Amino acid sequence: MLDRVWSLPVIRFLAVPWLLSLAPPAWAADGPELFAIPVDFILFAATLLGVALFHHHVLKVALGGLAVIVLYKITVTGFKTGDGIAGFGAHMAHEWVLLVNLFCLLVGFALLARHFEDSGVPDVLPKLLPESWLGPFVLLVIIWVLSGFLDNIAAALIGGTVAASVFKRRLHLGYLAAIVAASNAGGAGSVVGDTTTTMIWIAGISPLEVAPAYVASAVALVVFGVPAALQQNRHQPIVRHLHAVHHVDWARVGVVLFMLVAAVVTNVTVNIKFPDLADDFPFLGVAVWIALLLAVPLRKPEWSLVPEAVKGTVFLLALVTCASMMPVEKLPLASWQTTLGLGFVSSVFDNIPLTELALKQGGYDWGFLAFAVGYGGSMLWFGSSAGVAVANLFPEARSIGKWLLHGWHIPIAYVVGFFVMLLLIGWNPGEGPKMSPVVAPAVSMTPANAN
């Protein structure tokens, strides 16, 4: 059996850094390093590189990378919660709420998106959107606005569902990236729009200190939205000549609203009234599924979507689990340069521990931080939960190379938006958290990087 496992190219590819770490490497205070880089980061980078090279087998790569990283942590460095298997168990006991929340939300919102698609609303939208490239651009604006008061995963899935209808599923990859970017950017300035901003809010920082992120977010929307809309319009314009008169199934619209309201009310109630319980139970994910099941007598969900949604979700959870074991505390102290870098880091590392670290450090301008960690995950398809959710609907998006090639405007918009905000508002570090930061539920209501 071991010979068969070792014969897998992905396992050998990922195991090399771990095996090298068992030889006499340089040792930092808390673990071995190769070329002055902690082996933890090398293993995670190898996993991400494996995703890029073997993008038709991303689930196997992610699970293989997770297995190698867990083995390395158990046998070499241990965890912050302890050494060996006991330390791993304690670490997972701390992470399980986040992982279950993500699982329930991603699978649940995949069913929610189908409810919305079957409601008939997407078929009516072509009559409301402008002609030419302005049509796809206005759709991105709608997604951006929705994400400010809805979960960014839901906004991305609803936007993707609408786009699939009005463009007859012929979506340019650059436009898919823009849908993800619009959903992440839209929640960056709202404490109920993204998990990371919710974490900042729970830590006792005023929503007014987060709101300036909308300056950078709005600039970024224009910078990536116009070229993405042009890409989509050339690839497939909006189809307006519908063959039949469509009516809206208001019962399905009601189901969608019911699920979203349940998520928002649960998230706000738990985070405001019972913040100490947020780490103990996946309230948000459970609330979404309770709402979904209560609505079954009214309209049944498309259960056939569950297997593929579960597969994509397990992939995300594997990456999130890997990221949770990284020594992110080695980041430099707060500055606008550090914050700019965090946006790029959040495209490959989970933005939740990055945000938690920033809260512990203090000294950040919280508007800049919210934009950086919220929007930064859009640069790669697995850099945010919204990106993974959209990739579940459109598997062709699961290619790092193609995402970077066709979504070139996403990182450019990040840099432009960041520096416009820096010029107009300036770097104004706020006061530190007034209480110990609490890790919020994984979806933004912010507030994944998968980030």
pLDDT value at position 373? 92
The answer to whether the CB of 147 falls within 8 A of the CB of 375 is no
Q: What is the pLDDT of residues 174-223, one digit of tens each?
A: 999 999 999 999 989 887 677 778 778 766 787 889 999 999 999 999 99
pLDDT value at position 442? 38
Q: What is the pLDDT of residues 42-57, one digit of tens each?
A: 888 888 778 767 767 8
**With 80 as the cut, is the pLDDT of residue 444 above it?**
no
Longest dimension (CA), the chain: 72
Q: What is the pLDDT of residues 307-335, one digit of tens each?
A: 988 888 888 788 778 877 877 666 677 89
Q: Which residue has the higher pLDDT, 274 or 231?
A: 231
pLDDT tier, 436 (very low <50, low <70, confident <90, very high otherwise):
very low
Asked which of 11-15, 31-35, 243-247 is least confident by mean pLDDT, the reply is 11-15
**With 60 as the cut, is the pLDDT of residue 29 above it?**
no
Q: Which residue has the higher pLDDT, 436 or 309?
A: 309
pTM of the model: 0.69
Q: Which of 380, 265, 256, 316 is nearest to 103 (CA)?
A: 316
pLDDT value at position 256? 85
Distances (CA, A) of 133 to 111, 163, 226, 234, 238: 30, 13, 8, 8, 9
Q: What is the pLDDT of residues 260-270, one digit of tens each?
A: 888 878 877 88
The answer to whether the CB of 424 falls within 8 A of the CB of 215 is yes
pLDDT value at position 350? 63
Q: Which residue has the higher pLDDT, 296 or 44?
A: 296
Region at 78 (left for phi over 0; alpha for psi -120 to 50; beta for the rest): left
Distance CA 395, CA 100 (A): 23
Q: Which of 17, 46, 47 is nearest to 32 (CA)?
A: 17
Q: What is the pLDDT of residues 77-100, one digit of tens each?
A: 888 888 899 999 998 988 888 788
**With 80 as the cut, is the pLDDT of residue 113 above it?**
no
Asked which of 67-71, 127-131, 334-338, 422-426 is least confident by mean pLDDT, the reply is 127-131
Distance CA 46, CA 61 (A): 10
Average pLDDT of the chain to the nearest whole number: 81
**With 90 as the cut, is the pLDDT of residue 294 above it?**
yes
Distance CA 331, CA 429 (A): 17
pLDDT value at position 417? 97
